[in-house]
């Protein structure tokens, strides 16, 4: 039995009539940029995330860039983040002339190790960007305490974690600014690119809204250097339909994860733990395995999809060589990059498919377990 690592059409099949009606409603309205669908979506997702202000933009990458513009990041300013994340987190810092300063990860949660952040702070530190990787929340109480003590804003990269909670609070509601991606494969995915910036600060929200729209404060009058980054109305309409299902879909992912957890006990694969007080939304269900590339090949040969997020940590990427990264600098991130393997985890997976993935993984690990 083949099990694809992703299958977005299965979800579409369950909501097709609502989506089709929403999309054709926008087309018939003739309003494609901003407008009532975007406004309504921003209101609904702000309520969902338990925040005051939500501003749509064109992608999660733009959300990060605009958040950094809104705090006034200048060339030479330092921003602390994780080396084990999607490239956009560091790319946006570098694009604005800033310097990404990496801090190693906590091997249990794959997120930035809060205990190592303080050592990386210098007089030039302007922001801390924790990334809720794979849908598991970072240790936000510890990170916010550091941010407050040093008066450094904290920007949550919640691209992978919409709907996750930390000690009863929603991811996105804790940082000074938070950033979301609606890339189609994210838990709340549009049918194209999209992103969101959220904050509880009204003045900052107004600035962010202006930056997203060329810095315009009145028609053809500008008081900030901005960008063209708006959520388009078709995507907002799609997201309004999907937001109503998000909690159920995330619950579905948790059920898949629970089944994997049970089936993989004793297999030699380390299943992903959930920290006390957190709910995981399993954007990815990521195990650690020995001999990872051989295991991935064995799964592929059986028709079972898997992915490696991420094979090379950012401090070792050629594009960021100027930062002076070297092998051995962030041992936990480097070990994760060698060991991680993400399994299919969408809520539409059948029990038989989950069983097939787990069996394929156990079979792939068996010769390795015998050797060791």
Ligand X SMILES: *Cc1c(COP(=O)(O)O)cnc(C)c1O
* Region class of 110: left (phi > 0), else alpha (psi between -120 and 50), else beta: left
Q: Give a three-class secondary structure readout of 162-205.
A: CCCEECCEECCCCCCEEEEECCCCCCCCCCCCCEEEEECCHHHH
For ligand X, the closer of residues 268 and 315 by Cβ is 315
| Residues 188 to 247 in contact with ligand X, rule: CB under 6 A | 193, 195
Task: Pick one of 84, 134, 183, 282: the residue that binds ligand X (CB under 6 A).
Answer: 183
Interface stretch with ligand X, choices 54-62, 94-102, 257-265, 319-327 (CB under 6 A)? 54-62
Counting residues that bind ligand X (by CB under 6 A) gives 15
Closer Cβ to ligand X, 180 or 295, answer by number: 180
Nearer to ligand X, 85 or 173 (CB): 85
By CB under 6 A, what part of segment 17-36 binds ligand X?
none
Please select the residue that binds ligand X; options are 61, 65, 109, 284, rule is CB under 6 A: 61
The total of other beta-carbon atoms located within 10 Å of residue 242's CB is 22
Minimum distance of ligand X from residue 322's CB (angstroms): 21
Is residue 181 close enough to count as binding ligand X by CB under 6 A?
Answer: yes
By CB under 6 A, residue 85 contacts ligand X: yes
Taking the C-alpha atoms of residue 276 and residue 140, their distance in angstroms, rounded to an integer, is 13
Interacting residue with ligand X among 3, 41, 42, 59 (CB under 6 A) = 59
Q: Which stretch binds ligand X (CB under 6 A): 59-67, 68-76, 102-110, 326-334?
A: 59-67
Within 182-267, strands assigned E span 195-199, 216-218, 221-222
Does 284 participate in binding ligand X (rule CB under 6 A)? no
291 binds ligand X per the rule CB under 6 A: no
Q: Residues 39, 237: contact at Cβ < 8 Å?
A: no
d(CA 213, CA 57): 9
Q: Are strands 78-81 and 125-129 parallel, antiparallel or unpaired?
A: parallel
Closer residue to ligand X in complex, CB, 71/263: 71
Query: Could you give the string, one character per residue 131-160, with x where binding to ligand X holds by CB under 6 A and - elsewhere?
Result: x-------------------------x-xx
60 near ligand X, judged by CB under 6 A: yes
CA–CA separation, 205 and 182 (whole Å) = 19
Q: Does 344 help bind ligand X (rule: CB under 6 A)?
A: no
Q: Distance between alpha carbon 172 and the CA centroid of its chain, in Å?
A: 11
Of 40-48, 85-93, 203-211, 249-257: span binding ligand X (CB under 6 A): 85-93
For residue 217, give the DSSP letter. Answer: E
**Least distance to ligand X, CB of residue 194, Å:** 7
- Altogether, the residues listed in the chain come to a count of 372
In the complex, which residue's CB is closest to ligand X? 60
CA gap 347, 364 in Å, rounded: 24
Q: Within a 10 A sphere around the Cβ of 319, how many other Cβ atoms?
A: 11
The distance of closest approach from Cβ of residue 60 to ligand X in the complex, given in angstroms and rounded to an integer, is 2
SS3 at position 339: helix
Q: Contact at 8 Å (CB) between 186 and 63?
A: no
Q: How far apart are CA 85 and CA 309, in angstroms?
A: 8
Contact region for ligand X (CB under 6 A) — 84-92, 137-145, 199-207, 270-278?
84-92
Taking the complex as a whole, the smallest distance from the CB of residue 197 to ligand X amounts, in Å, to 12
Q: Are 287 and 270 in contact (CB under 8 A)?
A: yes
- Reference 178, options 138, 226, 223; nearest CA is 138
Interaction of residue 88 with ligand X, rule CB under 6 A:
yes
The residues of the shown chain that bind ligand X, judged by CB under 6 A, are: 59-61, 85-86, 88-89, 131, 157, 159-160, 181, 183, 193, 195
């Amino acid at each position: 039995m083949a099990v694809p690592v992703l299958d977005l059409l299965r979800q579409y099949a369950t909501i097709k009539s609502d989506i089709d009606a929403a999309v054709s409603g926008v087309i018939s309205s003739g309003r494609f940029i901003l407008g009532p669908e975007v406004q309504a979506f921003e209101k609904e997702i702000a309520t969902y995330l338990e925040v005051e202000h939500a501003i749509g933009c064109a992608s999660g990458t733009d959300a990060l860039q605009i958040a950094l513009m809104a705090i006034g990041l200048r060339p030479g300013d330092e921003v602390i983040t994780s080396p084990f994340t999607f490239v956009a987190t560091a790319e946006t810092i570098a694009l604005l002339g800033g310097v990404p300063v990496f801090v190693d990860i906590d091997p249990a949660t794959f997120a930035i190790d809060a205990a190592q952040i303080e050592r990386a702070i210098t007089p030039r530190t302007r922001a801390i960007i924790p990334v809720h990787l794979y849908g598991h929340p970072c240790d936000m109480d510890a990170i916010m305490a550091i941010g407050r003590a040093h008066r450094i804003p904290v920007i949550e990269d919640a691209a992978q974690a919409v709907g996750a909670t930390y000690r009863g609070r929603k991811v996105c509601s804790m940082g000074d600014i938070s950033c979301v991606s609606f890339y189609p494969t994210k838990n709340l995915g549009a049918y194209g690119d999209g992103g969101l910036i959220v904050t509880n600060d009204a003045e900052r929200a107004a600035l962010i809204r202006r930056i997203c729209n060329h810095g315009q404060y009145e028609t053809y009058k500008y008081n900030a250097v901005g960008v063209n980054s708006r959520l388009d109305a078709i995507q907002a309409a799609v997201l309004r339909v999907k937001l109503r299902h998000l909690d159920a879909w995330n619950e579905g992912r948790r059920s898949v994860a629970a089944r994997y957890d049970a089936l993989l006990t004793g297999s030699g694969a380390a299943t992903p733990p959930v920290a006390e007080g957190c709910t995981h939304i399993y954007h990815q269900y990521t195990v650690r395995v020995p001999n990872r590339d051989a295991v991935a090949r064995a799964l592929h040969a059986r028709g079972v999809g898997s992915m490696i997020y991420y094979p090379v940590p950012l401090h070792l990427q050629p594009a960021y060589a100027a930062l002076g990264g070297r092998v051995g600098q962030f041992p936990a991130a480097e070990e994760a990059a060698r060991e991680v393997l993400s399994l299919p985890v969408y809520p539409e997976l059948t029990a038989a498919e989950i069983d097939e993935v787990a069996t394929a993984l156990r079979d792939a690990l068996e010769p390795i377990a015998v050797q060791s």
